[in-house]
Structure 1
């Protein structure tokens, strides 16, 4: 019994020693871990401090500035080209509209002297003049001009005579005997005088309206 207790006592003593040794070892390990951590942080800090810092590239900012400037210039050039193209398009459209407007005005405007339906609207020497005019190859649209021209020159009177110039007859030929080429009765015959007058107009002014226009501008034909 005594030996049993002695053995138990030894076992307890050994267990206590093992426990104490374990505690001591744990404390030692913990102390070393703390020291390691304490020394590791400064090293990391020192390592971090010793690492080369990334320096800003001196050309980075200018490159970015040049790129922005080039982009701005490109945008300005594009805007200017677009504005120029729009201005050209607007000018072309305006010109086209003006031409269309002028064309419509010309087509819508009535002729200055409406053509008669036929020579029957006239009488006397004017009717004879209209008939001979059409026979000479002129259109009815020329008759209003011929009427105005010879209204001004002679009032369609075959005996009209200008003493100062010698002009005679409906067309006021100068001298009057020129009309003899179309008949011996040139002095008082309306038809003979009209034939001469139409031939004169055709050779010099091409149409009665051409002769009338010249007469309006100069006072004579």
Structure 2
């Protein structure tokens, strides 16, 4: 079966920009205090609870941050080049090439799942499938933390990024209320939602 066009665009684009992306994206220690606090809380709640997937992990900085805090974390990314950089930088942390549409874990295997600025490339019509996959992979009571861009429903289609390198992905900026509704519809109970300007973070659990 042919790979869906949006996944092919994300894979090819991030393979192209991987090295430049790794240079400019801030590490967890450089994030704003609130973002650091949210990540710390996620790590504290999932440490020792079972395996945790960092979905769309990029160069692996946040996966390594979780691992350093006792989380049994694995980083998953669609881009083989991103995964290669992550393995080089953090050889003690497991990383694998995988799509969030078909996570390589059995049903109910994960104590936690982190999707940190990684779902906005998914066409809105396909987000229910992605969130259903998150629910499938989470154990009952498992914790989801999803952070990302929000907006009024606009779709951005840049032709270059990260220093002028060519990209072909789309970036969808949905209202936070719609994202929360889609999570709930997938069977994930949203327990907290934080909005700050063009960004939002959601915490949810599988019932």
Identify the TM-score tier after normalising by the shorter chain: under 0.3
Larger Rg, first or second structure (1 or 2): 1
Highest RCO, 1 vs 2 (Cα 8 Å, sep ≥ 6): 2
Of Structure 1 and Structure 2, the greater strand share is in: 2
TM-score relative to the length of structure 1: 0.21
TM-score relative to the length of structure 2: 0.21
